[in-house]
Chains A and B, each alone.
Chain A
């Protein structure tokens, strides 16, 4: 603590956002810079790993420069450097990791290796003045659909995950099928606003006893039903398909998340990840939480998608307990949560 508070530089390059941020005491965002590659990957209809890695290398140093300037902080003021170690795209993770190691090496600062999914959860610690343990957290993004039960900063347990596609991935695939473009989440949400979710019925959720989810069957059902309707000459509106698909995904997530809240008898449910920026999902969860007397916490959309402020926030609690990484640490594309 060089300035009476802990200043951490966070770095995030696990997928297609090149990001750096400076956060004070794990709570106050001094800067949060994200350089998005969405436009570059759009023409490929998804993230191309080698393209992403190349772009990270090009953008990361200027992004860090901007983050420091934006925060009004010089390198000498920092107390630690934090970086996403995994999970994510290996080549992309490595760029962030090597840059973070270089900073820690020259500045003789502790290096903090952060789990990407944990970091998503910590977006809530930035957004809300108090987050009390224990809680259940649902992290939904293009790469993950994870349900987590946490009792303290050092005890996060994965209790459920997707058996096939992540929720965001299902959005991308269905959007591509419907010709709505990439990324699929925002595209489907836009169309769904003018659609009727009951006009294109999709199979109901088969609730298994666990907290795992599955979306590939739903995606197949959309494609099958669409083709069936075409063959029969039925008139199907893309808006209705989008609305129905979105409602079903949200319903699956809602059932699993609230079942976990009941099973683990926690008062609080946290949402995080890119899909948590979906307006319909936010509304549905808010309504359900109110009905069930559950405290629902979700970050603003800008902290739902990948960013480095959440990495610095998660790192703050690792800093407090001296959980530092050596400079020999490797990136891990499949890093487990605990």
Chain B
């Protein structure tokens, strides 16, 4: 029986941990607020494993969202995922955060544009259809992303950026944009874990030394003075 632990710390919208197995979700814990990611992550992991009646040693793999999102948030999750994989000798899989937001909409035909708020009034975005990346990812202003979507007849927007910039997209794209109701704004640890399980089934290697974050932005060079 394959068991995968999923970790989500890549955005301010959620701290999430989930364990999934072949028969489905075993346990999941989620809370809002980036500030507490570093403090509560291990309490969440402990609770989820206990609730699922899974021992650490029984895990078959680790999956973690790798961004784009909050630089610090991404690093927290990736550092923990890598180290758990190192100590437990497990494969570890990185799942792009935008993919995590798009995956729940894979079964319907509309193209999906997940949006994660970035600093400076910008968003991280990409275009997916049926779980496949079509365009992006971009780090751009909502208006620039809207321009990328203009050629589509219809597009589903999701993620916290969709809620935040709904009016901008409505104004620029009119009837072409569709918002799910209620609007799911946080990447789900469960989705990450299921993606990890799928990669495990496909025989992906999941080498911890190859796992790296998807920052999508170079570091700001302001501290060098």
A-B residue pair count with CB separations less than 8 angstroms: 97
The reply to whether A330 and B39 contact each other, CB–CB distance below 8 Å, is: yes
> Are the C-beta atoms of A50 and B82 separated by less than 8 Å?
no
Interface stretch, picked from B93-101, B188-196, B198-206, B216-224, is B216-224
Interface flag for B107 (CB, 8 Å): no
Segment of A102-110, A156-164, A225-233 engaged in the interface with chain B: A102-110
User: Are A97 and B71 in touch, CB under 8 angstroms?
Assistant: no
Stretch at the interface among A22-30, A58-66, A144-152, A237-245: A58-66
Task: Give chain B's interface secondary structure class.
Answer: helix
Q: Name the one of A51, A90, A106, A328 contacting B40, with C-beta atoms under 8 angstroms.
A: A328
List the A residue with the shortest CB-CB distance to B83: A102
- Residue from A61, A94, A97 within 8 A of B82 (CB atoms): A61
Are the C-beta atoms of A50 and B71 separated by less than 8 Å?
yes
Complex Cα spacing A50 to B46, Å: 30
A48 touches B87 (CB 8 A): no
Classify chain B's interface size. Answer: 20 to 34
Please determine whether A328 and B88 come into contact, CB atoms closer than 8 angstroms.
Answer: no
Q: Which residue of B lies closest to A329 (CB)?
A: B39
A54 and B215: CB pair below 8 A?
A: yes
A103 to B213, CA, bound (A): 20
Q: Which of A39-47, A134-142, A293-301 contacts B (4 or more CB under 8 A)?
A: A39-47
A75 located at the interface, meaning its Cβ lies under 8 Å from any Cβ of chain B in the complex = yes
Q: Which of B50-100 contact A (CB under 8 A)?
A: 56, 71-72, 75-76, 78-80, 82-84, 86-88
B78 contacts A65, C-beta separation under 8 Å: no
Query: With a CB–CB cut-off of 8 A, which chain B residues contact A58?
Result: 212
Residue of A nearest to B40 (CB): A328
Tell whether, in the assembled complex, residue B78 and residue A57 are in contact, meaning their CB atoms are under 8 Å apart. Answer: yes
Pairwise interchain contact B79-A95, C-beta atoms closer than 8 A: yes
Type the 1/0 row for A282-296, where 1 means its CB is closer than 8 Å to any CB of B.
Answer: 000000000000000
Q: Are B80 and A46 in contact (CB under 8 A)?
A: no
CB-CB under 8 A for A53 and B71, given A46-B223, A61-B209, A105-B45: yes
Closest residue to B57 on the A side, CB-wise? Answer: A106
Of chain B, the residue at the smallest CB distance from A46 is: B224
Q: Does A331 reach chain B (CB closer than 8 Å)? A: yes
Tell me how far the C-beta of A101 lies from the nearest C-beta in chain B, rounded to whole angstroms. 6
Are A51 and B209 in contact, with the CB atoms below 8 A?
A: no
Q: Is A143 an interface residue (CB 8 A)?
A: no
With an 8 A cutoff between CB atoms, is A267 at the interface?
A: no
User: Known contacts A48-B219, A54-B215; is A102 also within 8 Å of B72 by CB?
Assistant: no
- A195 contact set on B, CB distance < 8 A: none
Nearest residue (CB) in B for A45 is: B224
Chain A contact residues: over half helix, strand or loop, or mixed?
A: helix
Q: How far is the CA of A306 from the CA of B145 in the complex (A)?
A: 44
List chain B residues, Cβ under 8 A from A90.
72
What's the tally of chain A residues with a CB closer than 8 Å to chain B?
Answer: 37
Q: Is A71 an interface residue (CB 8 A)?
A: no
Contact between A102 and B39, CB atoms less than 8 A apart: no
Contact status B80-A98, CB under 8 Å? yes
Tell me if A327 is interfacial: C-beta within 8 Å of chain B.
yes
The smallest C-beta distance from A121 to any residue of chain B, in angstroms, reads 27
Instruction: Determine whether the beta carbon of A98 is less than 8 Å from that of B76.
Output: yes
What are the residues of chain A within 8 A of B41 when measuring CB–CB?
98, 101
Q: Which residues of A contact B151 (CB under 8 A)?
A: none
Question: In the complex the two chains form, what is the Cα distance from A65 to B43 in whole Å?
Answer: 26
Q: How far is the CB of B71 from chain A (nearest CB, A)?
A: 6
Shortest beta-carbon distance from A307 to chain B in Å: 20
**Alpha-carbon gap, A167 to B221, bound state (A):** 23
Q: Mark B20-43, 1 if CB is under 8 A from A, else 0.
A: 000000000000000000111111
* A330 and B219 in contact, given A60-B79, A99-B83, A102-B79 (Cβ under 8 angstroms): no
Q: Is B225 an interface residue (CB 8 A)?
A: yes
Whole-angstrom distance between the Cβ of A308 and the nearest chain B Cβ: 15
Q: List residues of chain A with CB within 8 A of the CB of B46.
A: 105
Residues of B within 8 A of A (CB): 38-43, 45-46, 56, 71-72, 75-76, 78-80, 82-84, 86-88, 208-209, 212-213, 215, 219-225
17 contacts between A and B (CB under 8 A): A44-B221, A46-B224, A48-B221, A48-B222, A48-B224, A54-B75, A54-B215, A57-B213, A61-B86, A62-B209, A98-B38, A98-B80, A101-B41, A327-B43, A328-B40, A328-B43, A331-B38
5 further interface pairs, Cβ-Cβ under 8 Å (given A45-B225, A94-B75, A328-B40): A61-B82, A61-B83, A95-B75, A98-B38, A105-B46
